[in-house]
Amino acid sequence: MQGNRGVVYTGNGSVEVQDIKYPDLVLRDGPGVPKSNVGRKCEHGVILKVITTNICGSDQHMVRGRTTAPEGLVLGHEITGEVIEVGRDVEFVKKGDIASVPFNIACGRCVMCREQKTHICTNVNPERPGAAYGYVDMGGWVGGQSEYVMVPYADFQLLVFPDKEQAMEKILDLTMLSDIFPTGYHGAYTAGVRTGSTVYIAGAGPVGLAAAHSAQLLGASRVIVGDMKDDRLKQAESFGCDTVNLTKHDRLGEQIEQLLGVPEVDCSVDAVGFEASGHGEGAEEKPAQVLNTIMDVTQAGGGLGIPGLYVTEDPGASDKDAQTGSLKVRFGLGWAKAHSFATGQTPAMKYNRDLMRAVLSGQAQIAKAVNATVISLDEAPGGYKDFDSGVAKKFVIDPHGMLK
């Protein structure tokens, strides 16, 4: 039988590359798999040879111990690969196809999927709406930071690239279609970015950078990015964003006024999530900081896109309320300013085809925006450590050495 290796969460803030089971078209028992999902037959699925699979900030939350993720979980929900085996019930996807895998697992049959709400499919996770690969409480589907992975509901889910040679030439951009490009775009789009908008992006990690680039694609006149790492801010500046270092400035409105002449923007995006920090030098963790800040600096009637991750259980939180996802949010301020809030996972399939076209036409330069950096599978543990330190890179794992 063919072998397989993958990145496995081993607890205590660490991951290892280990031998794992070669996938077949059944969801087997394993770490995080609900009993009612064990043995689920997936003849509607395919086996992929993974070409690229990316390290995500959401993975880091688990590795840091900030979720209830079980040890032994194979990580990875950002997957691009070549189809090498096709299930009996797959009709349109063919062996040899190269495709992007949306990080949301979705059946295509339920009411939510029919309404393009593939992030809350009701048929793929018996414990709650929505599922993802290699992620806590998301149905137990095996992650794709590996050499091979099984993808269910292939006809519905896979975004097959029209030309294989062109796809490999653009692979560092196309690999972002599985998650961070649609997620960043979703944040900007749901915030209401349009031609001429002024936008504040909280966080210059990969999703924040993707949101900033997406805001530009949507026609924003000014994009301001706030972060606490100089290297990340320089990366945002590299493609035309204004920046604010929040360790040096704890009054964001004043900085925005210096840039725009007014202390507010039209709309904002939270690309940080629940591990937010207070502002100013030496600030400590303050999970509601970003939410309260973007309400403060967004004009009345403005939109708040919130693709940053928030959780129902955070065992590493500093107070009991935050451990159950209860944050001290100034909701009255948002209500008084008639803000709109868009939260939850991104329905990647709503955007990925159009964003693929933007990549293939050269309009979108997402790999450059997020500083895509290729590493081998064996280098993944080091990539996790570097990413956790806040480097301005998006790590792309190349399990088979297929990239030029």
What pLDDT does 380 receive? 97
Render pLDDT for 105-161 as a digit per residue (tens, 0 to 9): 999 999 999 999 999 999 999 999 999 999 999 999 999 999 999 999 999 999 999
Confidence of residue 316 (pLDDT cuts 50, 70, 90): confident
pLDDT at 190 over 90: yes
Token pair belonging to 296: 């403060």
pLDDT mean over 279-305: 93
Mean pLDDT of the chain: 96
Of the candidates 1, 45, 35, 37, the residue with the CA atom closest to the CA atom of residue 19: 1
Within 13 Å of residue 262, how many CA atoms lie on the same side as its CB?
11
Alpha-helical regions (H) of 314-365? 320-323, 331-336, 352-360
Render pLDDT for 317-351 as a digit per residue (tens, 0 to 9): 878 888 898 999 999 999 999 999 999 999 999 99
Token pair belonging to 139: 């149905």
Confidence of residue 281 (pLDDT cuts 50, 70, 90): confident
Report in angstroms the alpha-carbon separations of 120 from 138, 144, 155, 233, 354: 10, 20, 19, 33, 21
**What is the DSSP-derived secondary structure letter of residue 243?**
E
Render pLDDT for 221-261 as a digit per residue (tens, 0 to 9): 999 999 999 999 999 999 999 999 999 988 999 999 999 99
pLDDT mean over 188-198: 98
- Break the chain down into helix, strand, coil percent, rounded to 5: 30, 25, 45
Alpha-helical regions (H) of 30-158? 57-63, 111-114, 154-157
Burial string for 254-267 (b: 16+ CB within 10 Å, else e) reads: ebbeeebeebbbbb
219 Rama class: left (phi>0) / alpha (psi -120 to 50) / beta: left
Q: How far is the C-alpha of 149 from the C-alpha of 172, rounded, in Å? A: 19
pLDDT at 191 over 90: yes
Q: Give me the residues paired with residue 15 across strands.
A: 9
Confidence of residue 1 (pLDDT cuts 50, 70, 90): low
Domains in the chain, ordered, with CATH?
Answer: 5-179+347-398 (3.90.180.10), 181-342 (3.40.50.720)
What pLDDT does 318 receive? 79
- pTM, entire model: 0.96
pLDDT mean over 267-289: 90
